[in-house]
Chain A
């Protein structure tokens, strides 16, 4: 029930800011597609680079869409509007509030991914996006929603949200299998980067898009992130003394 309330709140926000959300989801990936996919015509792994790029971009926007929807919103609600107080006082179980945020954030990420898929449809790439792809993308969205929740509970001011984007999301966007394979990175650094959730998501979605099957390690890594960060979020909302 509490989950439905949070999803309703997200729906109200989505309806109101529909155009802003859609254009924000569209603009950065569009630039990448134009520059790398159309402007600089290269090949990768024997295929047009566009075929390599699209699965990476779709994965990336589930990260940015989910993270952005939660980090910004929760920081403002907690520190500026104090609207989180309304939730804290209410009888809605706080774990349901957290779960609603995670699902709502992930749906926003999925919406951003859908926008990219629709936008790249005319290119007729032949890439495969099936139920598994969407499940992985949803899972990736939940992971980044929980990371956003934890960071927004740690934020000291609402201007911290853009900083988190600069320090965490931006580097991941470029380094985690979006534009080039982590295999091309130096030893040591490569192992660390490949353990990050976006690297795993991009890798699995790209494998499926080429007709292959994703390995189970990717799922395990994403679930570990999801469980750890969800647990921290729930701990914070129940136990943090000065929320």
Chain B
């Protein structure tokens, strides 16, 4: 279990994360959602020890996660938002460097690299330096690198940013498969549909503070599972209903620019976090 206790991060006068408390169960697929600057990446950076908290602590199975704690760090792998790789290394070298940093035997590094590059369709580009790869290829390589060490906890900071829709779907399938093998995944994303599709639970953070936390379905249920979009004066307004008959009744009285659909997590996100933006 991962536990964030009163986690706070300040940069001078600015508080990026304020008093964040979270418990993430082993094997859970957890989404951390929020608008730009909400503190998602800062939280991931603290979970990966790149940033140290100003106060509070992170516990993994009850043990504090620090830069010195190699045992707990061995369980972690991260896919950062930026391409955090040596640009002058080729794919094989990137993978070997990662494997060596995690004390993997060379034979295991080579076998697993072969498997992962093949799975993500990168094998034929393996001798290209990172600098010469497309954005999507770099993302896939970062995922390969993170999976090389068979982590127990995978931190994903916008892993599908810059990917085309097909590659995104492939990534979703891969992440589902990994999660089924009891891998704990913490995901931040701007694609709310991604979080709805993948996550067991999501937390909305805003202004560095925890706003809401629940399963995507509970959050949708709470808002109302039916949505009616009305367009007037070039602005879109949505109304939400718990009861289908009530929604249909409203729709029948609305003007012709109204349509009914199922409520999504994105609706919940906009209603919860977006209202005051």
Judging by beta carbons under 8 Å apart, are B73 and A81 in contact? no
Q: Is the interface of B mostly helix, strand, loop or mixed?
A: loop
Judging by beta carbons under 8 Å apart, are B97 and A85 in contact? no
Judging by beta carbons under 8 Å apart, are A8 and B86 in contact? no
Q: Is the interface of A mostly helix, strand, loop or mixed?
A: helix
Judging by beta carbons under 8 Å apart, are A90 and B101 in contact? yes
Judging by beta carbons under 8 Å apart, are B101 and A86 in contact? yes
Give the residues from 97 to 114 in chain B that come closer than 8 angstroms, CB to CB, to chain A.
97-98, 100-103
Min Cβ gap B258→A in Å is: 47
Give the residues from 67 to 123 in chain A that come closer than 8 angstroms, CB to CB, to chain B.
77, 81-94
Interface assignment of B82: CB less than 8 Å from any CB of chain A: yes
Most A CB contacts (10 A, CB to CB) among B85, B88, B101 go to B101
Among B73, B83, B96, B103, the residue within 8 A (CB) of A89 is B73
Judging by beta carbons under 8 Å apart, are A241 and B54 in contact? yes
Interface code B82-95, partner A: CB below 8 Å = 1, 0 otherwise? 11111111000100
Interface code A217-243, partner B: CB below 8 Å = 1, 0 otherwise? 000000000000000000001111111
Chain B residue nearest to A237 in the complex (CB): B67
Tell which of B44-52, B166-174, B200-208, B249-257 binds the partner. B44-52
Interface code B53-93, partner A: CB below 8 Å = 1, 0 otherwise? 01000000000000110110110111010111111110001
Judging by beta carbons under 8 Å apart, are B84 and A90 in contact? no
Judging by beta carbons under 8 Å apart, are A87 and B101 in contact? yes
Size category of the A interface is 20 to 34
Taking CB atoms, residues of chain A closer than 8 Å to B73 are 89-91
Judging by beta carbons under 8 Å apart, are A238 and B67 in contact? yes
Taking CB atoms, residues of chain A closer than 8 Å to B101 are 2, 5, 86-87, 90-92
Judging by beta carbons under 8 Å apart, are B49 and A88 in contact? yes
Interface assignment of A183: CB less than 8 Å from any CB of chain B: no
Among A81, A82, A238, the residue within 8 A (CB) of B68 is A238
Min Cβ gap A160→B in Å is: 19
Taking CB atoms, residues of chain B closer than 8 Å to A239 are 52
Among A2, A85, A92, A93, the residue within 8 A (CB) of B50 is A85
Among A2, A16, A92, A243, the residue within 8 A (CB) of B51 is A243
Taking CB atoms, residues of chain B closer than 8 Å to A91 are 70-71, 73-74, 101-103
Taking CB atoms, residues of chain B closer than 8 Å to A85 are 48, 50, 78, 80, 84
Judging by beta carbons under 8 Å apart, are B49 and A89 in contact? yes
Min Cβ gap A77→B in Å is: 7
| A4-B74 Cα distance, complex, nearest whole Å | 18
| A91-B68 Cα distance, complex, nearest whole Å | 8
| A27-B121 Cα distance, complex, nearest whole Å | 44
Known contacts A83-B86, A85-B78; A243 and B50 CB within 8 A of each other = yes
Most B CB contacts (10 A, CB to CB) among A90, A92, A239 go to A90
Among A2, A86, A88, the residue within 8 A (CB) of B98 is A86
| A174-B41 Cα distance, complex, nearest whole Å | 46
Interface assignment of A12: CB less than 8 Å from any CB of chain B: yes
Interface code B1-31, partner A: CB below 8 Å = 1, 0 otherwise? 0000000000100000000000000000000
Taking CB atoms, residues of chain B closer than 8 Å to A242 are 11, 51-52
Min Cβ gap B244→A in Å is: 48
Chain B residue nearest to A241 in the complex (CB): B52
Judging by beta carbons under 8 Å apart, are A77 and B51 in contact? no
Min Cβ gap B143→A in Å is: 14
Min Cβ gap B173→A in Å is: 25
Chain B residue nearest to A1 in the complex (CB): B103
Judging by beta carbons under 8 Å apart, are B78 and A89 in contact? yes
Give the residues from 1 to 43 in chain A that come closer than 8 angstroms, CB to CB, to chain B.
1-2, 4-5, 8-9, 12-13, 16
| A90-B80 Cα distance, complex, nearest whole Å | 13
Judging by beta carbons under 8 Å apart, are A5 and B54 in contact? no
Taking CB atoms, residues of chain B closer than 8 Å to A8 are 96-97, 100
Judging by beta carbons under 8 Å apart, are A88 and B48 in contact? yes
Q: Show 22 A/B contacts (Cβ-Cβ < 8 Å), sorted by A.
A: A5-B100, A5-B101, A8-B96, A12-B89, A77-B86, A81-B83, A81-B86, A82-B84, A86-B84, A86-B85, A86-B101, A88-B48, A88-B67, A89-B78, A90-B73, A90-B102, A91-B73, A91-B74, A92-B101, A92-B103, A94-B67, A243-B51
Q: Which 7 A-B pairs have the closest CB atoms?
A: A90-B101, A82-B84, A91-B70, A5-B100, A91-B74, A85-B84, A241-B52
